[in-house]
Structure formats: C-alpha cells, structure tokens
Structure 1
Amino acid sequence: GFHLDVPPRRRVWATPNGKANFLPLPGLEVNDPVDDPQMLRLSTIRSHDQFNTTIYSYNDRYRGIHGDRMVLFMNAGDIAARGLADGQAVALETISRDGRPRRVAGLTVVAYPMPSGSVAGYYPELNPLMPLDYHDHITGTPAAKSVPVRIAT
C-alpha cells in the first residue's frame, strides 16, 4: 500500500513525554437531555466506497456490508432488549423538541460491536433525521454524531 512518512507513522511524537497525548475538549460530553427510555444516539458515518456525499458503490469493506446502504448498525444487547433481530427491517424516528416528524424507513438491523445506546447508519441516507436546529452552538456545524432517535417497527 501507499504510506506517508510522517512521524506518527513511525510512532514518534514531539511531546515532553514522547507519547501521543489526548485531551478531552470541553463540551464533548454535552447532549441535550431526552426523556425517552427507548432513546438511542445516532451517528451518521461514511462507507469505505464513499467520499463525503459521493457514493461509489453499495459496499463497505470496513464493516462487511455488500450491496446495501440502508442499514442500521446496533449493539447486540440493544437489539435483544427491543425484541428485534439481526436482519429485521425497521424505521428510525428522530426525537426532537420542534415536534416535526422525521422518519427513515426500510433500514435493516445489523448487529455490530458498538457501545450500548448507540446506533449508526450511512449518510446522506439518514440526513433526513437531523433537525436543522441540532448543531454546534459556536460553529453552526450539524451535529451528526449524537442525534436522539428511537426505533419504529
């Protein structure tokens, strides 16, 4: 493959302790409170064969998906707790304060090793679930990594 000769590739960090240092940014733990026991946090993601919103194929070798993008990645425990099954068709609805219904149907549940309480799906397919007012308060960037949603069958 093609490799860039950059210091981190050689595991070299120009820090006082010579190691990579990670610092949590203030505000990353902040999510609007949601009073719904069925609430999950949606992250929209890209597939391997995608650059921004340009989709080159319906395959995602990162996650073992072939021929489909209408999938919902879920924790196996969350699937069981909701009485769902891997491969089941579901819809996803946004939980938002504005009362406007946002729904994407025709998603296939895919069991995937991820944190409980989280789900993920491809964008732009799941963009209709993101409220326009759900964004970073400083930059205005859409908050596409923690959208409160619920499963609808």
Structure 2
Amino acid sequence: MTPVVRRRTSPLADLRSWLESDFSAGFPGPVNLPLVRIEDFVDEGTYVLRAELPGIDPDKDVEITVDDGVLTIQGERSEESKDRDHSEFRYGSFSRSVTLPKDSRVDEITAEYRGGVLELRVPMDQTTSEPKKIQVTRPEG
C-alpha cells in the first residue's frame, strides 16, 4: 500500500504556488513570473518531484536548496542573441518552492536532469502506525 503524503503548507506558500501556476500566465507585470511547472508523487517510500526545465545547463543554471523543510529550485535560463520573428520561450530568473513531507530525509536527496526534466528523489521514513481505537468511558454517578 502506498503511503499518503500529507503536506502542510502556509498561506504564503499557497499564494506563491498560485502566482507560479498557469492561471497567472496571462497577467502583465510582476505576477507574470517565469514558470516552473512541477509534478510530485510518492513512489515506494520516496517522494518524487519533477520540474520542467528545458534549455538549461543543470551544472551552471540551477541551484537546489532545502531550508526548514522547504525545497527551492532556482536559476536562470539565458537567452541566446538571435534574430527572431516570434518566441514564446521564457528567459530570465526562475524559482519554485515546495514544502517537503514531514518525514523526508533531506540529507539523502538526489537530483537527475534528463530530457529537460529535473527529477528530485527524497527518501521518506517508513513509519507506518496501525489505527488505534480509543475507548470512551463515562464517569459513574
């Protein structure tokens, strides 16, 4: 049975996630930040986060940090100087933060970049507890 990942997020993390979502892509100004699209899931006791980052050099363009249970991917996608008639590519700085599951072993995180996708694997402690039934008593009298 696959364990359920329960993440507690702060309202500020939820707001940041909303600002980085596709919903904000059509708005002008500071809300229209370069987007880092992600997916996450649990695979056999490991939290997996995949981020779409095409066109970057992971050795030079990306920094991954963990601070107080929050994993942050940040970097910059550089624009080549070429004459173009049209481009929908996004260039410049990007950042995306995700709250890790409570039982993550952050010292064992691994990262791999393949085909424009950065995949991070975060081992989790496998502490499964059986449900416990609590008996209700009534005082005499």
Using the size of structure 1 for normalisation, the TM-score is: 0.25
Higher strand share: 2
Larger Rg: 2
Bigger helix share = 2
With structure 2 as the length reference, what TM-score do the two structures score? 0.26
